[in-house]
Chains A and B, each alone.
Chain A
Amino acid sequence: MKNLNTLFSILLFCSLFLVGCSNDSGSTVKDNVLVYCSEASPQSFNPQLVTSGSTFDAARQIYNRLIEFKPGSSHITSSLADKWEISDDGKEYIFYLRENVKFHSTDYFKPTRDFNADDVLFSFQRQWKKDHPYHHVSNLGFRYFESMGFNNRIKDIIKLNDHQIKFVLNRPDATFLATLAMDFTSILSAEYAEQLLAKGQPENIDNHPIGTGAFQLVRYQADAFIRYKAHFQYWKGQEELKELVFAITPDPSLRFARLIAGECDLMAKPLPIHLKAVINYPFIQVMNEPGSNIAYLAMNTNKKPFDDPKIREALNYAINKEALIKIVYQNTAVVAKNPIPPNMWSYNRDTPTIPFSLQTAQSLLQQAGYPNGFEMDLWAMPVQRSYNPNATKMAELIKQDLEKIGIRTKIISYEFGAFLEKVKKGEHQTALLGWIGDNGDPDNFFSPLLSCNAALSGTNAAFWCDPDFDQLIKQAGMISDIYTRTLLYQKAQEQFSQSKPWVPIAHSRQFILANKRVKNFRLAPTDGVYFSGVTLETSSNQENRN
């Protein structure tokens, strides 16, 4: 018995010792390490290849673009391009590139030269030219480059000298500069690419990234963490943060637990319930930003009875949006009436708000010849998105609303990939969808979601093609004068609100929770995180509960 007792006391002692030890260790090492609890693993470290937000977040820390968004806004500012000139016909852009910009130096690549026009050429031609040696490397396709229509937009890219490069466009394009600030136009190192090609490991360019950005990659383990360190020769000056870690934590409750336990400094995508709970934790700050997004119910105008504008109007009256905002979004969103969010320029404030009125809806149904309602299907995506935290719940609430006017709804859901494919093919009658704008330009909403071209390619889920509307947004896309464009887009919104191909539902605010020691962090309206310029206050560490 004695032996057993000794064993027990040893075990007990050990565990106490462990607890005691690790509580006070590391507080000094931690001061310059920022930990961000992110929601998913990146698919790659090359933003050219993918469309997922978590990949953009991971890659954005590593690269720069010619033009960048000002932190926390959708206004553009110079980055690797110092300044630029636009020709009078709006078709030629000359970029003057910044000098003395260094690429990352790591154990797998040591740059011998500074950033120059060759790197810009490489980064675009890889995505553009099908015969480029890197075009088929990794073989994931360049979906953003294609969906933004760069294949057709760009006529030529000409290197004038090492620090001047000219883009020639097929037609004048007002959104071109804003597009160059998007992640897929990140600048990679041409020298690194050549070295890898010579070594026969070209695919490393996408997994072992080299950029000019504020942070360089140190280590990555899928579904565990990404570790970066500050780029000590960063052209804007070295970051105050020494290290940056993405702790990949897909479960939102666990992310929240890590935040309040002090393991994370920032937490991505909190749930509404977490926003309520943070009041109990004085060391946590809530950051929020009106999101550049829209959640809507698309009605397939190719299918009966939704070819009838009266029916579409009836649905607009019959859905109680206020209730959806309260229940589904827990009041973290605002009611939508236009396809673009209220904080975007050209938002039409005069669009009439449609009130919730079952009587009006009923009489509209009668006028359309469906006094007893009809049956329809309602497609709801199975995943949580920042513009719609719970589409299935929303669908059930809508179903209840519509039953009151005699419309019998069947809710349909598929795995997300299959769901999007089938919606693209137009198999749905109505579908709950959403969109996050990524370059701060209204065209980024109108063209992919409501144009006639998009009705052909399937991203216009209402399959609504109105020639007048289409003409307006096409015209607005070719002018660079922002005042004229605003007028055109406002007119387009009038057209939209008359024809009602959607029930616009909500613009959600986006949230991030952070420890109060995080300073200078701004959430971008385009739903991304960027840690350049962020600092940590060292003293507030002690304020934590433990």
Chain B
Amino acid sequence: MPVIILRQLLNFIISLFVLTIFTFGLTHLFPEGVSLLIPQDLDTGSSITQIGESVANNGNLFSNYFQYLNQIYQGNLGLSSVRGSSVFDEFFIYFPATLELSLVALIFAVFAGIPLGIIAAKNKNRWPDKLIVSSTLFGYSMPIFWWAILLILFFSLWLGVTPVASRLGFEFDIQPLTGFMLADTLLSDKSYSIEAFYSALHHLLLPAIALGTIPLAVVTRSTRSAMISILTEDYIRSAKARGLSFTKVIWKHALRNAMIPVVTTIGLLISILITGSLITESIFSWPGAGKWLLEAVYRRDFTVIHGAILAIACFIILVHFLLDLLSIYLDPKRRRT
């Protein structure tokens, strides 16, 4: 077991290493060049390009790269070239919103997708199965930007039951503490903190459904196929033969084993969720990291583009690493090797 964990760890480190080489290369395409590498002292009044030149003239590519790594290690991602604020700090302002949205979307996908997958597997080739499978195909092929707009049209503008955009009703003024609106509203000492919490949940509903639809389809389908193959296994048949109820068979015997491929799928979903949130956020005017990156692209704020790519990619690599560990823990076959 330690060997496989070590292997995963090595994999993790190499991925990060490749990522930094990529982002380092990226900085050479920016007008500011390698000036991202060094701490920028605004008081001197010298322009970013001047600093960039002075760095470029000192030292070769390798020493620049190690300087760059050193800066990143210290959490220095430079300053936004539009706002002048620290990119590292900004990331922690925007990213919790993305994380909150992605997590809720994931919870929606998992909590709706697994039961749907089980129902489909149980009724294999009968109408509930066919209905579920065909609607997952529908959900899977629905582009987010189209689906989200349909949802807004129907629920927000036609029925008027959900808000159109943003994270919270504007009548509530909530001090950001954690960046997670659900937590911040509850932690707030304002008299309307409970109302604000409901408002935050209410605002999450539509974007989470829009973002969670593709993952929902993926989770449903992978649960269904895993379930179908497991339900034909000998140990399930013997469990049934012993007279256990179907629910018990599913809960005690089938589900855990069926979850192994599903957990792997969820790992793949993280990148779908994060890239999907880029679109979802701009449609719902959701102030998260995706919108932050997109706005930076519009404004040609290269430091933010660089920082956002690096930080988001790091996060995805980290999550994959953790999920790999989880699947090792869940899968007795892999645990032994």
Contact = CB atoms under 8 A, between A and B. Distances in A.
A222 B287 CA distance: 8
Contact of B199 (A3, A22, A248, A261): A22
B198 interface: yes
Interface residues of A, number: 50
B251 interface: yes
Nearest to A41: B295
A127 B109 CA distance: 56
B324 to A, nearest CB: 29
A18 interface: yes
Contacts of B198: 18, 21-22, 25
A243 B173 contact: yes
A257 B157 contact: yes
B232 interface: no
A223 B287 contact: yes
Nearest to B171: A29
A221 B205 contact: no
Interface stretch (A4-12, A98-106, A318-326): A4-12
Interface string B91-114: 001000000000000000001100
Interface in B279-306: 282-283, 285, 287, 291-292, 295, 300
Interface in A207-249: 218-219, 221-225, 227, 243, 245, 247-249
Contacts of A415: 300
A1 B246 contact: yes
Contacts of B199: 22, 25-26
Interface in A239-266: 243, 245, 247-251, 254, 257-258, 260-261, 263
A227 B171 CA distance: 10
A8 B116 CA distance: 10
A438 B163 CA distance: 36
Contact of B160 (A3, A222, A245, A545): A545
A3 B201 CA distance: 25
Contacts of A257: 152, 156-157, 164-165
B285 A43 contact: no
A35 interface: yes
Interface in B172-199: 172-173, 176, 192, 195, 198-199
Contact of A258 (B111, B165, B167, B195): B165
Residue among A21, A218, A224 with the highest chain B CB neighbour number at 10 A: A224
A143 interface: no
Contacts of B90: 222
B14 interface: no
A431 to B, nearest CB: 22
A249 B165 contact: yes
A47 to B, nearest CB: 16
A247 B163 CA distance: 13
Contacts of A25: 195, 198-199
Contacts of B171: 26, 29-30, 33
A7 B118 CA distance: 14
A261 B295 contact: no
B192 A222 contact: no
A284 to B, nearest CB: 13
A401 interface: no
Given A18-B205, A26-B171, A243-B173, A222 B83 contact: yes
A113 interface: no
Nearest to A257: B164
A542 interface: no
A261 B45 contact: no
B84 A263 contact: no
Interface string B267-282: 0000000000000001
B253 interface: no
A199 interface: no
Given A33-B171, A221-B93, A254-B283, A261 B195 contact: no
A43 B80 CA distance: 12
Contacts of A258: 164-165
B285 A4 contact: no
A138 interface: yes
A15 interface: yes
B146 interface: no
B283 A2 contact: no
B161 interface: yes
A263 B198 CA distance: 16
Given A29-B192, A136-B45, A251-B282, A261 B156 contact: yes
B169 interface: yes
B86 to A, nearest CB: 12
A19 B115 contact: no
Contacts of A22: 169, 195, 198-199, 201-202
Contacts of B247: 1-4
Nearest to A224: B287
Contacts of A15: 205
A264 to B, nearest CB: 9
Interface string B228-246: 0000000000000000001
B163 A221 contact: no
A218 B175 CA distance: 10
Given A4-B115, A225-B170, A247-B170, A263 B165 contact: yes
Given A3-B247, A222-B83, A254-B285, A263 B164 contact: yes
Interface in B44-100: 45, 82-84, 90, 93
Q: Return the 9 tightest CB-CB contacts between A and B, nearest first.
A: A546-B160, A224-B287, A22-B202, A29-B171, A245-B170, A30-B171, A25-B195, A261-B164, A257-B164
Interface of B: 42, 45, 82-84, 90, 93, 111-112, 115, 118-119, 152, 156-157, 160-167, 169-173, 176, 192, 195, 198-199, 201-202, 205, 246-247, 251, 282-283, 285, 287, 291-292, 295, 300
Given A26-B169, A33-B171, 11 more contacts: A3-B247, A18-B205, A21-B202, A35-B170, A41-B295, A221-B93, A227-B173, A245-B170, A248-B285, A254-B283, A261-B156
9 contacts: A1-B246, A7-B115, A19-B202, A223-B295, A249-B285, A254-B164, A254-B283, A261-B163, A417-B300
Interface of A: 1-4, 7-8, 11, 15, 18-19, 21-23, 25-26, 29-30, 33, 35, 41, 43, 136, 138-139, 203, 218-219, 221-225, 227, 243, 245, 247-251, 254, 257-258, 260-261, 263, 415, 417, 545-546
